[in-house]
Amino acid sequence: MSPQRKNLPQREEAAEEPAADAGEAEAAAEEPAAEDATADEPAAEEGESAEHAAEGADEGHAEAEGGGHGGGHIEDIDFSFEGPFGKYDQFQLQRGLQVYTEVCSACHGMKFVPIRTLHDEGGPGLPEDQVRAYAANMTIIDKETGEERPRLPTDHFPAVTGDGMGPDLSLMAKARAGFHGPYGTGISQFFNGIGGPEYIHAILTGYTGEEIEQAGTVLYENTAFSTGSIGMPPPLSEDLVTYEDGTPATVDQMATDVAAFLMWTAEPKLMDRKQVGLVSVLFLIVLTALLYLTNKRLWAPHKGKKLDT
């Protein structure tokens, strides 16, 4: 093979040399591109490492904030409706309704709550004319005509749907548990209640003011949320509403009032249930005493006697 290559004409070798030079030029042109790609690979790896590190930091931060067990910091609040003899504070429910109407209703609906219940005893107790006026401020599509009309007291609160809208709040106070007993025994719930209103209060007051950007989304640090951050911006600020009864509208006060109101929307018959439960317990106590006395009277003549053998 090598002797034949030596006998090739000179012009063929001369023709091959420019081709070789062109190949070397192409290789030389490709080398910077390869070097750029090689330089880009560490940058990409560094970007991925930074992203994973940021995710790990966020997960660690969320675990630290949430206690590492899926729950944030929830404080017990002495609500008036707690305990076997507790009942709703009518004025607090009215303030909570005002906070929901002026602040929360823009993003959260209450589709399971009839507007007429605002007049019910044990609830906000609004006069019928105020309930009608309140309902008329909201609209609904009439099923018969297909046209929009003002709502009536017999209609429900509207449902709020769409991108960026929050969950329905009708049953939120029962859907969330702020306290958890050890291993699900329910001991903590027995003394502190389920803690749904406390959870709502903690979410509304748990903002730290810090913002966290994650995957192009801005999250707001919240000590009560299980992951340590939440997508909902802080909804409350000092004096955001003006209470008609003159109560100072602090963030804590507004959060407490709306939490109590949402407990009422989730349990509007709570007072009736407590009353029935109390009567049932008293009935069982009396029945137990009567059965004991009856048993004692029936068996008294036979006790202490020996059986005939």
Q: List binding-site positions for heme c.
A: 104, 107-108, 232
**Nearest residue to 113 via CA among 95, 134, 129:** 134
Q: Which amino acid belongs to residue 301? A: P
Place of tokens 């949430």: 66
For the record, the structure tokens of 81 come out as: 């409706």
Q: Which amino acid belongs to residue 32? A: P
104 contacts 240 by C-beta, under 8 angstroms = no
